[in-house]
């Protein structure tokens, strides 16, 4: 039993999204969300979710307000399932008021599930009276969405796949990134994707003939990426991230039925990165499960990259950011 002192008190948490530099794409255990492979990400400062939770003995069901909209039961089922795990851990049978706000488009490949479930894990566990270590928070967040396991930590983070609920969690590699890494997000579509990450990776694992090859190259890319980070080798980091992203997206093209998260503007953004590199401006793209593109760039080239993308995609669709912190409690 957890102690009851926090019940009825509102707990607020902020979690930042992360961009995978080495992609997680496939589960060994769908129920517990154990991944096939380790993955590695960078937490981002300006993209986050704020969530507040208050458990209330008088409620007869969870009440969830998502981006100022009161959700119905069907809409909130994933979050209710997650709260059930939290209730079970705390051995409490009380429902919650939840209010969550994403400062990024939801379900558009900008990792709202990562910041969303990391923030919910932190706020709900504290509100119910559990005092979890960051490792245990990472394990808990994983149950909501795989990528959320990494958003508990700041900077560069590795999710060690493990092989059960105890052993699958993220670890910080370099929490305070004190070298020159910037990221420019290019938003080509803010709408909800047609194929969720969950469904996309399931189809790829089940049907792509390249899935085993992806696993092999990903384990090599991970070693290279860790070397690039420890040497602060920006070009090796960027190149490895871009190559790994393309290998992941090759799994969608080679699935049956085949699909892609790219749209025409995604391809245009990729081409602009190639053009910039041809002009001697070192920048690299990576893309998660959506049409939006993230460009890694260093400070000296940042202005030129921003200008190029703003001209092509409009002022409001280009947002620059830097590495961000791990979970923050707001009260
Ligand atoms: P994304 O690329 O945005 O991560 P996913 O398909 O992985 O897209 O996940 C989208 C899902 O993440 C949403 O449908 C919702 O279930 C969940 N999600 C998004 N934001 C939040 C939030 N703030 N709190 C809880 N869950 C969230
Ligand atoms: C392409 O974590 O959103 O962004 O675990 O099913 O919720 P679920 O999927 P999710 O998948 C993220 C896929 C990715 C790569 C990554 O973040 O590593
Ligand atoms: Co997601």
Residue 265 predicted with pLDDT over 60: yes
17 lines ligand 2 (CB under 6 A): no
- Cα(299)–Cα(118) distance, integer angstroms: 29
Residue 330 predicted with pLDDT over 80: yes
Pocket test for ligand 2, best of 33, 49, 146, 260 (most atoms within 8 A of CB): 146
**Do 4-178 and 182-321 fold alike per CATH?**
no
Residue 232 predicted with pLDDT over 60: yes
Domain boundary assignment for the chain:
4-178, 182-321
Q: Which ligand is nearest to the CA of 107?
A: 1
For domain 4-178, give the CATH number. Answer: 3.30.230.10
Nearest CA to ligand 1 atom 24: 116
Residue 67 predicted with pLDDT over 90: yes
What is the whole-number distance in angstroms between the Cα of residue 25 and the centre of ligand 2? 7
What is the whole-number distance in angstroms between the Cα of residue 1 and the centre of ligand 2? 32
- Put simply, whether the predicted model's pTM sits higher than 0.90 gets the answer yes
Nearest CA to ligand 1 atom 5: 107
> Rounded to whole angstroms, what are the CA distances from 251 to 30, 215, 287, 322?
18, 11, 13, 29
Q: How confident is the model at residue 244 (pLDDT cuts 50, 70, 90)?
A: very high
ipTM confidence: 0.99
Q: Cα–Cα–Cα angle for 295, 296, 302, nearest 5°?
A: 90
What is the percent of the chain with per-residue pLDDT over 70, rounded to a whole number?
Answer: 98
pLDDT tens-digit readout, 14-28: 999 999 999 999 999
Task: Name residue, tokens 């589960």.
Answer: 27
What is the whole-number distance in angstroms between the Cα of residue 315 and the centre of ligand 2? 28
What is the whole-number distance in angstroms between the Cα of residue 12 and the centre of ligand 3? 21
Q: What's the token pair of residue 299? A: 């400070």
E strand or H helix at 120:
helix 112-127
pLDDT of 5:
54
Other residues' Cβ atoms within 10 Å of the Cβ of residue 193: 18
What is the whole-number distance in angstroms between the Cα of residue 222 and the centre of ligand 3? 20
> What does the mean pLDDT of the chain come to?
96
Q: Which residues surround ligand 3, an ion (CB under 5 A)?
A: 113, 197
Residues with CB under 6 A from ligand 1: 49, 78-79, 100, 102, 106-114, 116-117, 120, 145, 196-197, 288-290
Other residues' Cβ atoms within 10 Å of the Cβ of residue 62: 22
pLDDT of 215:
98
pLDDT of 1:
46
Residue 121 predicted with pLDDT over 60: yes
CA-102 nearest atom, ligand 1? 23
What is the whole-number distance in angstroms between the Cα of residue 165 and the centre of ligand 3? 20
Residue 114 predicted with pLDDT over 80: yes
Q: Does domain 182-321 have CATH number 3.30.70.890?
A: yes
pLDDT tens-digit readout, 169-183: 999 999 999 999 999
- Cα(102)–Cα(303) distance, integer angstroms: 27
pLDDT of 27:
98
CB contact at 8 A, 18 and 327 = no
Other residues' Cβ atoms within 10 Å of the Cβ of residue 215: 14
């Amino acid at each position: 039993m957890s102690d009851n002192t926090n019940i009825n008190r509102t707990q607020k948490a902020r979690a930042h999204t992360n961009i995978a530099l080495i992609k997680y794409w496939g589960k060994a255990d769908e129920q517990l969300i154990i991944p096939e492979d380790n993955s590695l990400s960078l937490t981002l400062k300006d993209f986050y979710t704020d969530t507040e939770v208050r458990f209330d003995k008088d409620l007869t069901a969870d009440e969830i307000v998502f981006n100022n909209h009161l959700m119905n039961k069907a809409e909130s089922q994933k979050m209710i399932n997650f709260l059930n795990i939290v209730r079970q851990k705390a051995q409490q049978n009380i429902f919650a008021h939840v209010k969550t706000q994403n400062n990024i488009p939801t379900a558009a490949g900008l990792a709202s599930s990562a910041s969303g479930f990391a923030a919910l894990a932190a706020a709900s566990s504290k509100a119910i009276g559990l005092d979890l270590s960051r490792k245990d928070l990472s394990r808990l967040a994983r149950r909501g969405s795989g990528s959320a396991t990494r958003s508990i930590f700041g900077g560069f983070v590795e999710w060690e796949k493990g092989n059960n609920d105890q052993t699958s969690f993220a670890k910080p590699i370099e929490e305070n990134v004190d070298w020159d890494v910037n990221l420019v997000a290019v938003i080509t579509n803010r709408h909800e994707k047609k194929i969720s990450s969950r469904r996309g990776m399931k189809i790829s694992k089940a049907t792509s003939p390249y899935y085993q090859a992806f696993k092999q190259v990903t384990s090599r890319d991970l070693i290279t990426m860790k070397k690039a980070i420890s040497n602060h080798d920006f070009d090796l980091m960027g190149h490895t991230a871009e190559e790994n992203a393309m290998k992941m997206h090759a799994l969608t093209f080679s699935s049956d039925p085949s699909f892609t998260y790219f749209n025409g503007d995604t391809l245009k953004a990729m081409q602009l990165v190639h053009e910039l590199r041809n002009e001697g401006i070192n920048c690299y793209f990576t893309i998660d499960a959506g049409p939006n593109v993230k460009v890694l760039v260093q400070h000296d080239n940042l202005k030129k990259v921003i200008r190029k993308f703003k001209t092509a995609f409009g002022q409001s669709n280009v947002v620059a950011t830097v590495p961000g912190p791990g979970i923050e409690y707001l009260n």
